[in-house]
Chain A
Amino acid sequence: MNIQTVINGKKISVNVKNDMRLLDFLRDELELTGTKEGCSEGECGACTVLIDGSPVNSCLVMAFQIDGKEVVTIEALDEDGNLNIIKDTFLEEGAPQCGFCMPGMVLSAKGLLDQNSNPTRSDVKEAISGNLCRCTGYTTIEDAILKSAKKLGGKNG
């Protein structure tokens, strides 16, 4: 199926195989390997991307379904947006350990902060509750998201 889509701000028109998930399309066809596969059933969130601004599991979306939609992956160069600030804050707060959950976490964080500039810790927990991490106990990730919100102009953080 031929689809028109926007990936990381770039319009593309491409033929996608019927039996390809968005995750496979990103990793295998576009070689955007920052999106990770951890469980293939929408439980771990390592494959989280933004579709039209909302975090979704790319392992549960067929590639042809992004026709007419906009996809953002961890590779996005978001110069005027908040992605780089979130990334820097994740580093400052020591959020990553093994790193495999990180791209998904960062995109869930962006999904939250684009909607809610002043989240509470409980909002943050909710926003990353679909992203499993086995290393960190989530604390540093939550801290990083709260601090990102502050940097991005929210009041209480």
Chain B
Amino acid sequence: MDKLNIVGKSSFRVDGIDKISGRSIYPQDIKLKEMFHAVTLRSTVPHATFTLNTEKASKMSGVVKIFTAHDVTGKNEHGVLFKDHQVFMDRKINRIGDPLALVVAETLKEAKVAMKEIEVLYNELPGVFCPLEAMNEDAPKIHGDSNIIANMKLEKGTVDFSKCDVVVENTFKVPMVEHAFLQPESAVSYIEDDKLVVISSTQYPHWDRFELSLALGLKEENIKVLNAAVGGAFGGREDITSQIHVALATKTLKKPVKITYGREESFLAHSKRHPMTIRMKIGALKDGKITAMKNEILADSGAYASWAPSVLRKAMTHSTGPYEIENVKVNAKSVYTNNPFTGAMRGFGATQVAVGYEQIIDQLAEELGISTYEIREKNILRIGSKTGTSQTMYNSVPVDRCLEAVKKEMEIIKKKPVNKDMLTGYGIALSIYGTGYGNGFPDVSSNIAKINSDGKIEIFSGFTEVGQGAKTVMAQIASEVFNTSSSNIIINCEDTDKVPDSGTAAASRQTYNTGNAVKKSCEKLKDIILNLAQKELGLNNNIGLEVKDELVYLRTLPSMEITFKDLFSKYKDELSSKGKFVAQTTQMDDLSQGAPYWPYGFNALGVKVEIDPATGRINVVDGVFAQDVGRAINPRLVEGQMDGGFVMGLGYALYEDINLVDGEIKNRKFSSYIIPTAKDMPTLKKIIIEDPEETGPFGAKGIGESVTIPAAPAILNAIYDASKVRFTKLPVTPIEFMKKFGNKYD
């Protein structure tokens, strides 16, 4: 590959200084003239039919209109895979938090006061809150006549544990957890030139526009979605929340309307991470070679499907970890219950199963009497290996390098002094994550690259900056092609009227998919520029023409040059190029064999934990994290993802758990739903492993989800090392630790 000038440098974030200075605009920061405020009435019971009486409330001071299911102007439904959500409930309530009505008033206070006066009469139905019970014939049904949303199987070879020398099994339970992005949902809508405009913070503006068009009964071209700054997402902004509600109110009332959720409503409104019960059985030969694995996965999708089949598919196909296993059998089910609905969250099913496979492989190593490194070295995927779906790993499989880097650093960490008052333990974990929607689903990103009248390069693509740094990455890719500073690239990604669809900011797909589309379109535009420059400069061909800082020059005679600006003045309409990238995956067969995702990213993590034997307080005090990135477009952004992914996994391991009682979230505040603070985060040594992916832009892969996966299993393995207690249920709070430690309370 040619020498790279911009890619590989830690350019400053293009959105950085605005965010630091508080100048970035999130929807809650927007105030329009004559703007109404709206609040959402939500169900307080998990399963019921109901009647509403809004008469008194609608006469309250300041109330403009109360919207219910009758007022929905299009189809009263939405949903990412199935249209099982309703804009406002009209039949049956399926969970606590289902939207019943929207109170629109002149002030927020008036809207809140009036909402209390809406009478709701519930006719409660028996609910089901346990996914196992939900599969019973006689269980209450949430939608249709079965609660089973998806039932998948995967079979490779023949699983026969009698042929194994050592067999280990265990059941792992991972909790429902919350994205806890810092910016609660907010949306503002208004009418502009007969167009309905919706401003929100979303992971996918074009999809929102499609859902809005269905629910409002408007054509997509009559709706414009503007993505404001997004205060974190992690999958929690994929299912639509307030957008249809504000838009419907604006469409009807012809006035600007704003909705902003408080923290508690945010907990109620969006999806959660699927809790799963994962039963694993694994067998190996005496030499440590794993030959068979059998897994069963049961996921609770809650009241709505959201991404249930896709999450389940990712969990199932990733449940063998980054290991080559000849014989595999997996059964995976996802079911409806009356719990809060679950959907996308960083890792998308792959995070949950790693808690299992990375612990059971440690158990297997212990049974075999070999080290946790040796068992992994013997079984990891390498070039030419086949995954559980029999997909061939043909390039960029640096699991071995990740593992080796961590092994080396852990030796140093183990030599550091230990606190004698504490139990000390060390643990490692590896992980695998396959990029993209997968399974042959068209996974498309588009970009238009243009030169503007100032001679600057502009890129137009509907990707989303959710905090991961996508704007900066795209700017760096474009600037690399054009040999200019990334701060000279103008990024347009927020306005559905201006930019083509580039899919969702999810599945770790933006750097890979949209990055490829940006690169392609920029390269095409560069060719156009060179050809036009040749014409303008009166040259025989374009050999030796080079671009730099928005001008074209002849390398052998640099004084022969023409600026992009001059080219624009003459060739305005020609200076535009479209690039499209479609990821290559195949639909799997009935036994889930095929090539469902590409590319795969890997990592290895090692941690040191200290446990107070008197209280069970666990601290991660040291660690090393090696991450395969293909190629780092921006190393600092990569490291930022590694730290952030790790700390989210730390919360998963030690603190976080949506506490449900009959479908009700009991801890829906930051004072009761505990996420890590700065004082809980160790200083990690971060190692970026580069092994360029042939199909990636400059060799890059996405890492946004991969980085969160190994934290929980590595911490659990370290807890085992320190205490000899194997925790199979997350989170390991001090209380849970003390219950098991010494078997005093179990």
- Tell me the minimal C-beta distance from B425 to chain A in angstroms: 21
* Most B Cβ at <10 Å: residue of A28, A74, A94, A136: A94
For residue B542, CB closer than 8 A to chain A, the reply is: no
In this assembly, does B706 line the interface, its C-beta being within 8 Å of a C-beta of chain A? no
Closest residue of chain B to A44 (Cβ to Cβ) is B670
Pick out which of these stretches binds chain A: B42-50, B390-398, B676-684: B676-684
- Give the contacting residue for B182; candidates A46, A106, A128, A142; CB below 8 A: A46
Min CB gap B114→A, angstroms: 17
Rounded to whole Å, the gap between the CB of B264 and the closest CB of chain A is: 9
Verify B17–A87 contact, CB threshold 8 A. Answer: yes
B195 vs chain A, min Cβ distance (A) = 25
How far apart sit A103 and B31, CA to CA, in the bound complex (Å)? 20
B310 at the interface (CB under 8 A from A): no
CB pair B640–A91 under 8 Å, yes or no, is no
Contact of B232 among A74, A100, A139 (CB under 8 A): A100
Contact A139 B681 (CB under 8 A): yes
Instruction: Flag whether B468 is at the interface (Cβ < 8 A).
Output: yes
* Cα–Cα, bound, A38→B17 (Å): 20
Contact B21 A139 (CB under 8 A): no
**B709 interfacial by beta-carbon distance below 8 Å:** no
Are A38 and B182 also in contact (CB < 8 A) when A31-B31, A94-B10 are? yes
Contact of B28 among A37, A88, A129, A138 (CB under 8 A): A37
Q: Are A35 and B22 in contact, with the CB atoms below 8 A? A: yes
CB distance from A27 to the nearest CB of B (A): 8
A121 at the interface (CB under 8 A from B): yes
A-chain residues with CB within 8 Å of residue B75 when the two chains form the complex: none
The answer to whether residues A94 and B640 also contact, given A36-B183, A101-B182 and a CB cut-off of 8 A, is yes
Q: Knowing A43-B670, A135-B644, say if A129 contacts B231 (CB, 8 Å).
A: no
User: Which residues of chain A come closer than 8 Å to B233, judged between CB atoms?
Assistant: 98
CB proximity of A144 to chain B, nearest CB, Å: 9
Whether the pair B670, A132 counts as a contact (CB closer than 8 A) is yes
Over the window 93-125 of chain A, the binary record of Cβ atoms lying under 8 Å from chain B Cβ atoms (1 yes, 0 no) is: 011111111110010000000000000010011
Taking a contact as CB atoms under 8 Å apart, the answer to whether A34 and B21 are in contact is: yes
Asked if B646 CB lies within 8 Å of chain A CBs, one says yes
Range for the number of chain B residues in contact with chain A:
35 or more
Q: Contact check, B182 vs A96: say whether CB atoms are below 8 A apart.
A: no
Contact A99 B24 (CB under 8 A): yes
Decide if B215 is an interface residue (CB 8 Å cutoff). no
A44-B183 Cα distance, complex, nearest whole Å:
10
Query: Do A98 and B467 touch (CB < 8 A)?
Result: yes
Q: Which of A33, A87, A98, A139 contacts B643 (CB 8 A)?
A: A139
**Dominant secondary structure at the B interface:** loop
Q: Does B669 contact A (CB under 8 A)?
A: yes
The proximity string for B residues 615-643 relative to A, scoring 1 for CB distances below 8 Å and 0 otherwise, is 00000000000000000000011011011
A64 interface hit (Cβ, 8 Å): no
- Which residue in A88, A100, A140 is a CB contact (below 8 Å) of B640? A140
- The verdict on B380 contacting chain A, using a C-beta distance below 8 Å, is no
Task: Please state if B17 and A91 are interface contacts (CB–CB under 8 Å).
Answer: yes
A132/B468 contact (C-beta < 8 A), A99-B229, A140-B640 known: no
Interface status of A153 (Cβ within 8 A of chain B): no
A91–B647 CB distance below 8 A:
no
Chain B residues lying within 8 Å of A38, measured Cβ to Cβ, are 182-184, 263, 670
Contact indicator A91/B20 (Cβ below 8 Å): yes
CB distance from A109 to the nearest CB of B (A): 10
Establish whether residues B26 and A36, one from each chain, have CB atoms under 8 Å apart when the complex forms.
yes
B681 x A97 contact (CB < 8 A): no
Say yes or no for A40: interface residue by CB 8 A criterion. Answer: yes
Given A94-B636, A99-B15, are A132 and B675 also a contact pair (CB < 8 Å)?
A: yes
Q: How far is it, in angstroms, between the C-alpha of A125 and the C-alpha of B23 when the chains are bound?
A: 25
In the bound complex, CA of A126 to CA of B680 (Å): 11
> Given A33-B29, A95-B20, A142-B678 in contact, is the A41-B467 Cβ separation under 8 Å?
no
Q: Are A125 and B679 in contact (CB under 8 A)?
A: yes
In this assembly, does A52 line the interface, its C-beta being within 8 Å of a C-beta of chain B?
Answer: no
- Most A CB within 10 A of own CB, among B182, B469, B645: B182
B441 at the A interface (CB under 8 A): no
Q: Which residues of the other chain, A, contact B279 by a CB distance below 8 angstroms?
A: none
Q: Most chain-B Cβ atoms within 10 A of its Cβ — which of A35, A92, A138?
A: A138
Of the candidates B15, B24, B28, the one having the most CB atoms from chain A within 10 angstroms of its own CB is: B24
A99: nearest chain-B partner, CB-CB: B19
Partner of A99, one of B231, B639, B669, B671: B231
Q: Is B701 an interface residue (CB 8 A)?
A: no
A23 CB to nearest B CB, Å? 12
A139 engages B231 (CB within 8 Å): no
User: A96 contacts B16, CB within 8 Å?
Assistant: yes
Point out the residue from B18, B181, B645 that lies within 8 Å of A98, measured CB to CB: B181
Given A39-B669, A125-B679, A134-B234: A94 and B22 interface contact (C-beta under 8 Å): no
In the complex, the chain B residue whose C-beta lies closest to that of A92 is: B12
Identity of the chain B residue whose Cβ is nearest the Cβ of A125 in the assembled complex: B678
User: Among B21, B180, B234, B644, which residue has its beta carbon within 8 angstroms of that of A74?
Assistant: B21
What are the residues of chain B within 8 A of A91 when measuring CB–CB? 12-13, 16-17, 20
Docked pose: A98 CA to B24 CA in angstroms: 10
Asked if A94 and B678 sit within 8 Å, CB to CB, the answer is no
CB–CB B670/A94 < 8 A: no
| B639 / chain A contacts, CB cutoff of 8 Å | 94, 139-140
- Residue B259 interfacial (CB < 8 Å): no
Query: How far, in whole Å, are A140 and B21 apart by their CA atoms in the complex?
Result: 16
Q: Which of B20, B28, B640 contacts A136 (CB 8 A)?
A: B640
CB of A138 within 8 A of CB of B640, answer no
Complexed CA–CA distance, A97 and B704 (Å): 12
Q: Are B182 and A132 in contact (CB under 8 A)?
A: yes
CB distance from A147 to the nearest CB of B (A): 13
> Do A39 and B20 contact each other (CB < 8 Å), given the known contacts A136-B644, A137-B647?
no
Q: B262 at the A/B interface (Cβ < 8 Å)?
A: yes
* Chain A hits for B647, CB < 8 A: 136-138
Asked if A137 and B21 make an inter-chain contact with CB atoms under 8 angstroms apart, the answer reads no
Interface residues of B in 52-91 (CB under 8 A from A): none
Q: A43-B669, A92-B12, A138-B681 are in contact. Are A98 and B232 (CB under 8 A)?
A: yes
Given contacts A41-B670, A99-B229, contact A135 B467 (CB under 8 A): yes
Residues in B neighbouring A131, C-beta threshold 8 A: 678
Q: Are the C-beta atoms of A137 and B182 separated by less than 8 Å?
A: no
Name the residue of chain B whose CB is nearest to the CB of A122: B679
The answer on a CB contact under 8 Å between A102 and B643 is no
CB atoms of B184 and A97 under 8 A apart: no
Residues 53-103 of A at the B interface (beta carbon under 8 Å): 73-75, 87-88, 90-92, 94-103
B130 shortest CB reach to chain A, Å: 29
Asked if B466 is at the interface (CB within 8 A of a chain A CB), the reply is yes
Would B648 and A74 count as touching, CB distance under 8 A? no
Bound CA span A106–B229, Å: 18
Q: Which residues of B contact A133 (CB under 8 A)?
A: 182, 678
Query: Contact between A126 and B679 (Cβ–Cβ < 8 Å)?
Result: yes
Return the contact of A103 from the options B22, B640, B671 (Cβ within 8 A).
B22
B residues 657-698 in Cβ contact with A at 8 Å: 669-671, 675, 677-679, 681, 683-684
A33 touches B22 (CB 8 A): yes
Q: Which of A74, A92, A126, A137 contacts B22 (CB 8 A)?
A: A74
Q: Which residue of B lies closest to A136 (CB)?
A: B644
How far apart are the CA atoms of A125 and B469 in the complex, in Å?
Answer: 24
CA distance A106 to B17 in the complex (A): 12
A97–B647 Cα distance when bound, in Å, is 14
Min CB distance B113 to A, Å, is 12
B230 contacts partner chain A, Cβ-Cβ < 8 Å: yes
Chain A's closest residue to B647 (CB) is A137
Residues of B within 8 A of A139 (CB): 639, 643, 681, 683-684
Which residues from chain A sit less than 8 Å from chain B, CB to CB? 27-28, 31, 33-41, 43-44, 46, 73-75, 87-88, 90-92, 94-103, 106, 121, 124-126, 128-142
Cross-chain pairs A/B with CB under 8 angstroms, 11 sampled: A36-B22, A36-B28, A36-B231, A44-B182, A90-B20, A94-B637, A97-B232, A121-B683, A126-B679, A134-B648, A138-B681
New A-B contacts (5) at CB < 8 Å, excluding given A43-B670, A87-B20: A36-B182, A90-B16, A130-B677, A139-B643, A140-B640
4 A-B pairs closest in CB distance: A34-B22, A99-B19, A98-B467, A137-B643
